[in-house]
Amino acid sequence: MTLENRVKAVQQVAVIGAGAWGSALAFHLSGKGLEVPLWVFEPEVTEQIRTQRENPAYLPGVRFPKNIHPSQDMREVVHDKRIVILVVPSHHMRAILGRLAPHLSPGVTLVSAAKGIENETLLTMSQVIEEVMPEDLSVHRAVLSGPSFSREVGQGLPTAVTVACQDREVSQVLQHVLASGRLRIYTSTDVIGVELGGALKNVIAIATGIADGLNLGLNARAALVTRGLAEISRLGVRMGANPLTFMGLAGLGDLVLTCTGDLSRNRTVGLKLGQGLKLAEILKDMTMVAEGVKTTRSAHDLARREGVDMPITNQVYHVLYEDKEPWQALLDLMSRDLKPEIGGYVDG
């Protein structure tokens, strides 16, 4: 079967999760003329999308067309769908997959668009999919990641991201199903690299937010982004990723966006920490999830398990979970033993 015919055969796409990113992806797919069933957790959000054609809590100002179909009935949403895009917080992924499994069609492609690492198991989302899904479903696992603020995708602004799958043909089909003149899709077979880049950049974004909250200047921000990329790459390579992945959209691209963009929830958490607020009061006032808070714990534990030096991640962990003063974390970073830069990509 030609690529064109394979693409035509899998046009039935469902989106699970109506937060900002799930809503933006549903809106994007609807613009391609697809009928898009959208699973929504909250009854009030379901009703708002159905009657007002808007999701004011998560994606305000974006008018949803009639070919987006919100529902709380998971079976109805995924029945006979060939592609299911999972856009739920990473700490809910396992439970959602367990509920989904009985309703999925054999051979379905599950695309994780969540950017996190499970705290208890230290598994990435594609690894959680592999662990939860029954073997007889023959599920294809893929991940979608890259520099993509939901609001800008909802506004139709140009965006480029990466879809990764170990099966090259599956990633090519997904590329053609998802791409448009406003959302450019690149393919990769480096699933672990794309996932780690998307998850770990949120930790570094908290660090750069802290530095900005302390008014440390642009030099400090640039240093944190650069050295953050070094430690993300170290862990990624240790876990089997292609180092070049971290120079691409799912690595450097997403890192720069999340560390510098005002729309970044993780940078916002860091910013408020640097300004003296405590984590509990910051999270209390946030509607949307800042994945980096939970991922910091996973990254810290992964680094210890793999024997990889991740000094920025460790200091963010101390600030978030041990109530360390942000200024002291910075002082400890700056006073570490001096060493060569390039060697630092290998040994810290």
Domain ranges of the chain: 3-189, 192-336
Half-sphere exposure of residue 292: CA atoms within 13 angstroms, side-chain side: 29
pLDDT in tens, 67-110: 999 999 999 999 999 999 999 999 999 999 999 999 999 999 99
247: tokens are: 């120079």
pLDDT in tens, 197-223: 999 999 999 999 999 999 999 999 999
Can you tell me whether residue 116 is helix, strand or coil?
Answer: coil
DSSP 196-258: HHHHHHHHHHHHHHHHHHTT--HHHHHHHHHHHHHHHHHHHHHTT--GGGGGSIIIIIHHHHH
The pLDDT of residue 343: 65
Phi and psi based region of residue 153 (left: phi greater than 0; alpha: psi -120 to 50; beta: remaining): alpha
pLDDT in tens, 319-332: 999 999 999 999 99
pLDDT in tens, 127-138: 999 999 999 999
The pLDDT of residue 184: 98
Q: Does CATH number 3.40.50.720 belong to domain 3-189?
A: yes
Average pLDDT, the chain: 94
Please tell me the chain's helix, strand, coil percentages from 3-state DSSP, rounded to the nearest 5: 55, 10, 35
Element (H, E) at 185: strand 183-188
Q: Average pLDDT in the 148-177 region?
A: 97
Computed from CA positions of residues 92, 7, 78, 68, in that sequence, does the dihedral angle turn out positive or negative? positive
Helices (H) and strands (E) in the chain, counts: 17, 8
User: Is residue 272 annotated as a catalytic residue, yes or no?
Assistant: no
pLDDT in tens, 10-21: 679 999 999 999
Closest CA to 156 of 56, 31, 57, 19: 31
The CA distance from 211 to 330, in Å, is 8
Cα angle 151, 73, 83 (rounded to 5 degrees) comes to 60
C-alpha dist (Å) from residue 202 to 50, 199, 205: 32, 6, 5
The pLDDT of residue 130: 97
The pLDDT of residue 287: 73
The bridge status of strand 159-164 relative to strand 140-145 is antiparallel
CATH superfamily of 192-336: N-(1-d-carboxylethyl)-l-norvaline Dehydrogenase; domain 2 (1.10.1040.10)
131 alpha carbon, distance to own chain's centre: 19
Q: Above pLDDT 90, what percent of the chain?
A: 91
Which residue out of 81, 115, 201, 294 is catalytically annotated?
201
pLDDT at 114 over 70: yes
The pLDDT of residue 107: 95
User: What is the value of pTM for the model shown?
Assistant: 0.95
